Structure 1
């Protein structure tokens, strides 16, 4: 018999998809009808449902959230050697997508309260670090044209989009929402996906809605949606002949994936409610030296991954030690992303601020947040976290 009961219990994953709706029925229909590849009725239905969810007129399915970002930058008019302002606290995908189009990221630190793009730093860069030359906004330091802002809604919490879009309009910058982690979140009562010029979503296995892999673009610009559809289908310009008029991409979501995604999307309100209840329970535990990511008064977050700060001064231990203790107790957690400007391929890029994202990288841990997380399992997580943050104090007695 194992000496540690916690090790005998099944491990609690950070996230896992919940397949309990119409997924089996819709996929069987794809198999029964032969619509299994990159066209089919479920692609159309999924796009229409996502457009409705975002409150937009158009949606274009893609193979991933990264592909969606790549195409969004292209249809927004970003050119090689342009600069694109982007959140520094993020998964690496938006920075990589900027590089795909030959542009250069300018990183903006997170603000310390809600961990979203620091709009004060953004405004400082645009108003004092740039100037208008020949009708174009250019970076004073590099001389490059600044073309767009990619605002990442981090961990299911929206950025302060009214301030970002107002600044962008004054300086004729395109606004791209990276809503990969935030499907179902709202900003001042409006869903993410309609708050900028164009938005991108991800349906990776870890996301609140999954299609096993895939992404989506939403926009109210008909011409942008049309060009996005064109580029994601290899830029084929003739319905019969194999004639192409641009460098296109095989970024087409399959009908089988779209069927899974649609079935998941049908349960989005339920999934959001569960995520919010999970985050509320973590916050209510009020563990010493542990602080759950706050929610801004203008936001309703989905808490894609409920994330906490470990205060080393209060607990006598750091986040990596807590991470190891949780793993030993059968609880999967993970740190936040390494700040993208500190990665080897981005160290030469301009950064505004940086202290907040560095601190969050050192102190933050994401906790199990699956929609299927059972109350008893969450109780185990909380107990393991309590033991992990108090271990040093207990050992010193």
Structure 2
């Protein structure tokens, strides 16, 4: 496959390496070592420390929200966010099947049922048209919320995901959910720094959740954050994720079921140093996207770009190939040559634990599953 061979050569030249090229690796070029050393010297390496507070303040500033809560990872953040908006066992949560498994798992951790609706071809995220069609056909508003009149279950939340950092049509989804009395949570795990207009992703829903895993645009090694414009909701999130412990000088008072989802100060120190360079990372990502766009355009291969009116963080760069056969050939040749590429996720309802979930036709999701490939997306050059 000539396209794969040319791509391998181009990517190796781009990264200046004949060794293995990962899909996405972190770049540490700021205060990471200094802040981590400060934390070690302070001995406050666990869940209490100045860097946890600083991290939360930085996330509030970056997202334009009123409250941020540091957590151990994005998945735990989603789990708690759903609980905070009232999701209970037996409820249904509208989401997309084209997503990382954590989205669906967080719903299941609350003993609720994912309902998988189709995505838009351009954003690769939950489609407002699909949500509207499902609700018009299946839902009704009752005194205490929105219900699926076919199953009898309450539709307790909607959770779109900003795929690879490309924003979904979030303003439309917020409006639809408001009309149907459905709380919206943003799975913004991959979209730190992405914008819709001038507003950051994660700030549109009742709660937004970010991931700081080792492969994200900014990493804390392992970690996540909830952000919200509702201070009381944020305070409740902090309470639940820190074992639901009531403030007291020395007593251990826990008056409801909480979680030990605290981000350690050591991880927060790393995250703070990374966040200081977020703007530079975003600029470098955009430069790389433009280089890829020009190269793949010359080969008549579709390179995925941001939708009009949005600004993506280009966390993972995407190609859209002709069909599954072309996709599989590209994946095989690149990976065998030590250039890491990967397909988009297997659709959630094709996994054994979610095969019986409610879903619509998934025409767009299946089209994308057959064609989308991620290519090396690490930041190149000095920061």
| Shorter-chain TM-score tier | over 0.9
Q: How does 1:334-345 map to 2 (within 5 A)?
A: 334-345=342-353
In the alignment, what sits opposite 1:139? 148
Larger displacement relative to structure 2 (95-104 or 285-294): 285-294
Query: Which of these residues, 241, 254, 260, is aligned with residue 250 of structure 1?
Result: 260
In the alignment, what sits opposite 1:56? 65
- Give 1:287 shift: 4.7
SS at match of 1:225: helix
Query: Which of these residues, 295, 302, 325, is aligned with residue 306 of structure 2?
Result: 295
TM-score, normalized by length of structure 2? 0.92
Q: How does 1:175-324 map to 2 (within 5 A)?
A: 175-239=184-248, 240-285=250-295, 286-312=297-323, 318-324=326-332
In the alignment, what sits opposite 1:369? 377
Is 1:37 aligned with 2:57?
no
RMSD: 1.7
Q: What is the distance in 1 between the residues matched to 2:96 and 2:197?
A: 21
TM-score, normalized by length of structure 1? 0.89
SS at match of 1:152: coil
- Give 1:364 shift: 1.1
8 Å Cα contact 1:59-1:217 kept in structure 2? yes
Larger displacement relative to structure 2 (34-43 or 282-291): 282-291
Is 1:358 aligned with 2:366?
yes
- The unaligned stretches of length 5 or more in structure 2 are 1-7
Cα offsets for 1:309-360 (capped at 9, x unmatched): 11149xxx51111111112322110111001122111111111231222221
Q: What is the distance in 2 between the residues matched to 1:246 and 1:94?
A: 25
- Give 1:191 shift: 0.8
SS at match of 1:318: helix
Q: What is the distance in 1 between the residues matched to 2:329 and 2:120?
A: 26
Q: What is the distance in 2 between the residues matched to 1:198 and 1:134?
A: 24
In the alignment, what sits opposite 1:382? none
8 Å Cα contact 1:129-1:139 kept in structure 2? yes
Q: What is the distance in 2 between the residues matched to 1:56 and 1:125?
A: 31
8 Å Cα contact 1:235-1:246 kept in structure 2? yes
Q: What is the distance in 2 between the residues matched to 1:272 and 1:294?
A: 14
In the alignment, what sits opposite 2:4? none
8 Å Cα contact 2:88-2:112 kept in structure 1? yes
SS at match of 1:273: helix
- Give 1:372 shift: 3.2
